[in-house]
Amino acid sequence: KAGVTQTPRYLIKTRGQQVTLSCSPISGHRSVSWYQQTPGQGLQFLFEYFSETQRNKGNFPGRFSGRQFSNSRSEMNVSTLELGDSALYLCASGTGTENTEAFFGQGTRLTVV
Amino acid sequence: GQSLEQPSEVTAVEGAIVQINCTYQTSGFYGLSWYQQHDGGAPTFLSYNALDGLEETGRFSSFLSRSDSYGYLLLQELQMKDSASYFCAVPGGAGTALIFGKGTTLSVSS
């Protein structure tokens, strides 16, 4: 069974640009969540999508947005990039119907210069 | 709001036992999860406690006390490969939305 796939793995962007990250969940999983990981703040929850609807949202500015497609693939967009957006962005997938296990992808390492 | 507190670092030697504590404050509580993350790797699920008590999975055990808003991860017979960061987390509902503690870095030496 293929795991969670995130693309690209690495990305370098300039301040002010926008970026789109992609996440393909495990087949059959309908819940996809996004996280930002930095050394200072740890793993912070951005948002969760379930069956194409945003079900939960963390405490991030509106520059961070996402969506989920009918095949459960998800994208995350960050507009007007700031230096502080440099981080590892992780996506996790799960069935969405039980509080047991979230399966994480390897992440996208975003560097803003 | 929701917050989880855990120690930032723990050190131990091979073969030893280590306990990583986690206290939490949440507006709603579904259970407590633990994840392991090696440097450069993805977090991987270790355990989930929805009810009070001890859950054992091989060398790892996890405990929950809902009345004390407290849990711990117990790692026995430590091996070098157990050197990693360990995160406690609480689910925000039935899906993959998790609130994580800041993580505990475990260093195992020989």
pLDDT digits (tens, 9 = 90+) for B30-62: 899 999 999 999 999 999 999 999 999 999 999
With a CB cutoff of 8 Å and minimum separation 6, the contacts of B59 are B75, B76, B77
Contact B96, A102 (CB under 8 A): yes
**Do B96 and A98 lie within an 8 Å CB cutoff?**
no
pLDDT confidence band for A61 (50 / 70 / 90): very high
Q: Which long-range contacts (CB under 8 A, 24 or more apart) does B57-60 make?
A: B60/B34
Residue B78 C-alpha, separation from nearest chain A C-alpha, in angstroms: 24
pLDDT in tens, A1-55: 689 999 999 999 999 999 999 999 999 999 999 999 998 888 999 999 999 999 9
Q: How far is B102 from chain A (nearest CA, A)?
A: 5
Q: What is the mean pLDDT of residues A98-113?
A: 92
Among the partner residues A42, A99, A106, nearest to B91 by beta-carbon distance: A99
